[in-house]
Amino acid sequence: MSKPMISQPPEMYDNNIVGPEEVAYMEELGLFIPTDNRTRMISPSTITFSDPTSDSSSSSSLSWRSFTPQNLIDGAGLFSSADIHETRDFVEIPVFLQSKETIEAIGFNKEKAHAIWALWEKLPDDERIPSTFIRFVLDVITEETFGQKALIAGDNWGPYMDTLGISSSLKEAILLPEYEDIRFTASCQFWILDSVEWAYHALASLRRRFEDTRRHFESLGLKGGEKMQLPRTKSISKGPSLLSPRSRKQKSSVHGGSQARDSYPGADAASSQFRFDGGSDSPGEQHEIKKEESTESTLDQISTKLYRATTLDRALKFYNEHTGVVEELEFGSSPGDLGGRTELTYWTPQREVADKYAGWLKRKLKLAIVIITEVEISEKLVKSLEPVYLWATTNESMNPKFQEFTWLCRNGKDHHRIPPHLRYLLDCNLLIANILTHPDATYIKMDKWEGINRSHLLKFEVDGQVNLGIQWVFRSTKARAAFTEHCHKKVKQYDLNMLTIATVLAMTDQVGNPYSQFGSA
């Protein structure tokens, strides 16, 4: 019996999310459900990173994908976000990448998707360039949200997203209460645009994932109509408690990590060799660099691991494993606590902070491969950059320089509007500070910087101990160049998989009878 064909003009061939060979092959295996519509039902096993035919949970089971970075490591057992998943037999994806169905899939309800698609179709043919499609969608939302506010904790984000036509699925993910602290580090508009953009890139990456899956299955001899029993994958298990963010080589945490408590002691001898703003000795006033005698070998043995949660698509732009080249600003974002409208890349030495961001990413981007990028920075490099520490608190009170500088940055002040006594924070190489929560509007509505208090600081709990979040930014061109050179071929990527994974997958013969199963969640 012939299968229905999807009607499309010839010029739309390259617009297919799945190639014709993969469609025919996966349908024979029962992993795609044939369709004559503009959406397709697929088994999540066809796009997952782990090998659905392998009983190994080691990182070696990831190497079968041709586009998988060879430095990718299985994050299960290291990061709790690797255990966050939803099991599905099949999920729905669009047939065409530039389509009304894609607009709906990346975060909009049917009515809004139809309206945006109608605007796209009204463009002249020479302006409907595929590479500009997602930018067009984002611009529509940016224009509609101009002047609208749903920015601070007191505002109701739900109705705001309803007004914009955001899908119930994305809205629910953004509003998950367990991620409220990180949600309020930016505006509702920011998280919508960020989620929509990277959901689109995840869809765009599916084609090569399907191609790899077909080649892998064919290499195992899997053919439609031929019975084969495949091993089950191991169930995703809960990992142990998160490890300390310090390297095994690291003798002491001189830059924060999990030791950043709600009241940070500024008299730490190790950190006193650098500029330090905020501490029990002289909060906000100690700028001199105290020279400590340290041997080169000692500095090489001490290191700090930095983490950042992201999607695979962004990670591949950040790090080219073949050349070893790192593009630090590929992770750049603005606005931020320490840069205002200047685009900077924010890292954290706290594994738990990155882990929480990763968990929220998975909730928002159901088909994106979420990973955590890790780089290890030697104390020798840190010392050469003469870092400035800008802690939020002293043992007894808030640090006024932290309050004023972050308040100005969150208000979008540029370099020329930063007062002279704070400009050294703009000109430094490496700035290490605590993290603000609450979106920009909170600080815009705040008449004076003195209004920033402990309730505005990002906190997380480990073993009953409350910690303040910590961020690093390599501000100067010199610092970014040193970072790039130092991290050459030294980047690790931890695979946390997708939110949506397969349950038990039924293989079918040519007449549609199920005969074998593989994979379990």
- The CA-CA-CA angle for residues 345, 266, 461, to 5°, reads 65
Give per-residue pLDDT as tens, 298-312. Answer: 666 789 999 999 998
Q: If you average pLDDT over every residue of the chain, what do you get?
A: 78
Is the pLDDT at 267 greater than 70, yes or no? Answer: no
Question: Residue 382: which of 279, 255, 290, 280 has the closest Cα?
Answer: 255
- Helix 157-164 with 188-204: angle, nearest 10 deg: 50
Q: What was the pLDDT predicted at 242?
A: 34
Is the pLDDT at 59 greater than 60, yes or no? Answer: no
* β pairing state of 500-502 and 86-88: parallel
Q: What is the CA radius of gyration of the chain?
A: 25
Q: Give the pLDDT band (50/70/90) at residue 453.
A: very high
Q: What was the pLDDT predicted at 237?
A: 34
> Which conformational region is residue 159 in: left (phi greater than 0), alpha (psi within -120 to 50 degrees), or beta?
alpha
Select, from the ranges 156-160, 233-237, 356-360, the one with the highest average predicted confidence (pLDDT): 356-360
Q: Which residue has the higher pLDDT, 381 or 189?
A: 381
Q: Is the dihedral of CA 153, 158, 160, 164 positive or negative?
A: positive
Q: Give the pLDDT band (50/70/90) at residue 148.
A: low
Is the pLDDT at 64 greater than 90, yes or no? Answer: no
Give per-residue pLDDT as tens, 320-357. Answer: 888 889 998 888 887 789 987 788 999 999 999 999 99
What's the rounded mean pLDDT across residues 396-406? 94
Domain boundaries, the chain: 12-72+81-237, 257-495
Is the pLDDT at 314 greater than 60, yes or no? Answer: yes
* β pairing state of 91-94 and 39-42: antiparallel
Is the pLDDT at 236 greater than 70, yes or no? Answer: no
Q: Is the dihedral of CA 476, 481, 486, 490 positive or negative?
A: positive
What's the rounded mean pLDDT across residues 451-471? 90
Return the structure tokens found at 16: 């297919």
Q: What was the pLDDT predicted at 186?
A: 80
Q: How far is CA 320 from CA 71, 316, 489, in A?
A: 11, 6, 9
What's the rounded mean pLDDT across residues 104-113? 97
Is the pLDDT at 217 greater than 70, yes or no? Answer: yes
Query: What percent of the chain clears pLDDT 70, i.e. is strictly above it?
Result: 73
Q: What was the pLDDT predicted at 234?
A: 38
Q: How far is CA 193 from CA 137, 143, 154, 156, 203, in A?
A: 9, 12, 21, 18, 16
Instruction: Mean pLDDT check: name the lowest of 356-365, 410-419, 423-432.
Output: 410-419
Instruction: Mean pLDDT check: name the lowest of 52-56, 110-114, 380-384.
Output: 52-56
Is the pLDDT at 29 greater than 70, yes or no? Answer: yes
What's the rounded mean pLDDT across residues 486-492? 91
